[in-house]
Every structure is written in structure tokens, then in C-alpha cells.
Structure 1
Amino acid sequence: MLNLRLNEVNLPYPDPIHPIIIHFVIAMVLFAFVCDIIGYFWKQNYLFEVGFWNMIVASITIFLAVIFGQFEAGLAQPYQAAQQTLNIHTLTGWILSAIVVGITAWRLGIRHHNFLKIPPIYLGVATFLVILICFQTYLGTKLVWVYGLHVEPVVEAMKEGVIQ
């Protein structure tokens, strides 16, 4: 069994890495979406290329976010009240990673077919992706700001048995 030295927020390193990586992914996907919308409605075809490459980077990076998310969730030792939100956040994270990669693969096919256009249905699916990301962001925010996972006073209270 691996014996990690955990600090005051139950991590083997100073701060959680998952939020840093996932905020990067969120920014890449949202920026790709904005580029695609502007490119579609204002006929700025070069923005489709920007959106495509942002999705490529997001597809690669989201798996790092999920890996660190799983690792840090395991170290958080969530108490009963936080467990359901963490479970939904975990499941949604895996679903999101599959959707991001799927949309990127679809986007690659669109790009090979005609890189100067994207179909409206793609924008509809991308809109669903953005909504799902907003929901996932809400859950992650709730885990930190409401339940205090990896926040020092909450970690201390759990160690002392105040929170179970």
C-alpha cells in the first residue's frame, strides 16, 4: 500500500491540481464554442480553426483533470453530506470526458469534409456541452464552497470527528 504524507488539506502536494487543470479545459471548450458561434453567424471561417484546436487541447487535457479529480476525491475522505454531490460530479466528469472527445472526433470529420463550414446541429450539440459544463462547474464549486473538500478547517473537523 502506498503511504503518502498528507498535508493540512489531505493532499501530498500544496494545493489541489484538479481545479487548475479543469479550469483550463473549461476555458478551452468555452472559447472554442464562442469562436464557432462567431465564425458561424459572422462568417469568420478562420475562427473554426481556432475552435477546432481548442477542442483538441481540451480533449487531451480533460483526462488529466479526471485522473487528478479521482485521486484528489479519494484523498478528500468526503463525509456523508458531500458524498452524493461528489458521486454525481465524478459520474458527470467521466461523461463529459467522453462527450468532449466525441465532439472533437466529430469536429475532425467536419474539418476534413469542409473546414470552412460547420453544421448547425454541431452548434446545438456544442450548446448542450456548454450547459453540461456549467452544471459540472456548479457541482465542483459546491464541493469546495459548501462542503469544503480539501479546505483546511473542514479537513481538521473531519480528523477530529466533528464532521462525519
Structure 2
Amino acid sequence: MLELLPPLNEHNLPWMDTIHPIVVHFVIAMALISVVFDLVGVVARRPNLFEVSFWNLIVATVAIFIAIIFGQIEAGLASPYGGARDVLNLHSTLGWTLAGVLALVTGWRYVVRQRDPLVLPRGFLALDAGLATLVLVQIYLGNMLIWIYGLHTVPVVRAVREGLIS
């Protein structure tokens, strides 16, 4: 069955380069800008920004599941070594958690929007802060996987293939 899969390239991937970071940048941008628009909307008393925030949450919620699919595939092909295994496991677990939190926030936001589109409850703003914190932690862990452990970079893939690291 493995012969049906395309051969892996120098990044240890069946496609040209990692897709997960490309898609996940949409999630990062949309989720964080949603929080910013909520905050500015409340402070500046500009409820029209709540509508922009809502649609950004919708896009982020859809995009995170696409990012997770590619992230899981690429994590399975990554050949993590040493401490990278623990960071990758934590990043994967928090990614699924973030997907759940994002879906919850989007669902709650939909209900709030139906009741009164001009007001955001304080509890929602607290959850917004938690969402932003979780996104920032994920950014940190993802950066560690690339910039410290070099997963899917050509030198690390070559070293793993040659048995220099395991």
C-alpha cells in the first residue's frame, strides 16, 4: 500500500514544502485580529467592529481544521527526535484544544450576535483573552519546532535519514 504514495522529497514530504504553516497563519491572523476588533469595539464604542470580528472567527474556525489535518500528516512524516517529540506532542494536543476553544468561542459569538449584535458580555472578552493566549503559546511551540529543532528542514531530514540523529 505504501507504494501508492508519492515519494518523499528532501523535506520528507510528498508535496513541495510544508502546508501546515501556510494555513495556520490564516488562523493566527484571523483569531488575533478578531480579539483586537472586539477590544477596540468595546473601548471605542464601535459595535460595527463586532461584525468584522465575528466573520474573522468564522474563517479562523474553518481554517484551523484544515491546518490540523495538514499538521497531523506533516507531524507523522517529521521524524521528531529528542526534545522535539515532547514539543510536537504538546503542540498537537494544544492545536486540538485550540480548535475546540475556537469553535466554542465562535458558537457563543453567534448566540451573542443573535441576541444583541451591539453588545459583548464581559465573560466573552475574558474568553477572547484566553483564546489569544492559547494562540500565542501555539505560535511559540510551532516556532520551536521549526527554528530550534528544524523539523522538515533539509539538513535535519538528511541527518535523520543518515542516522546521525534519532
Which letter does structure 1 place at the counterpart of 2:22? Answer: I
**Match of residue 113, structure 2, among 106, 111, 114:** 111
Runs of 4+ off more than 4 Å:
none
What corresponds to 1:34 in structure 2?
A: 36
Correspondence 1:136 to 2:132: no
What secondary structure sits across from 2:77 in the alignment? helix
Structure 2: any 5+ residue segments left out of the alignment?
Answer: none
Give the TM-score taking structure 2 as reference length: 0.97
What secondary structure sits across from 1:76 in the alignment? coil
Give the TM-score taking structure 1 as reference length: 0.98
Which letter does structure 2 place at the counterpart of 1:88? Answer: L
Structure 1: any 5+ residue segments left out of the alignment?
Answer: none
1:80 Cα deviation from its structure 2 partner: 2.7
Query: CA offsets per residue over residues 42-63 of structure 1, 9 Å max, x none?
Result: 1101100000000011111110
What corresponds to 2:60 in structure 1?
A: 58
What secondary structure sits across from 2:25 in the alignment? helix
1:4 Cα deviation from its structure 2 partner: 2.8
Query: CA offsets per residue over residues 12-38 of structure 1, 9 Å max, x none?
Result: 111100000001110000111111000
Identity in percent: 49
Q: Distance between the aligned counterparts of 1:62 and 1:135, measured in 2? A: 15
Q: Distance between the aligned counterparts of 2:141 and 2:33, measured in 1? A: 21
What corresponds to 2:162 in structure 1?
A: 160
Q: Distance between the aligned counterparts of 2:116 and 2:158, measured in 1? A: 56
What is the count of residue pairs matched by the alignment?
A: 164
Which letter does structure 2 place at the counterpart of 1:95? Answer: T
What corresponds to 2:7 in structure 1?
A: 5
Correspondence 1:150 to 2:152: yes
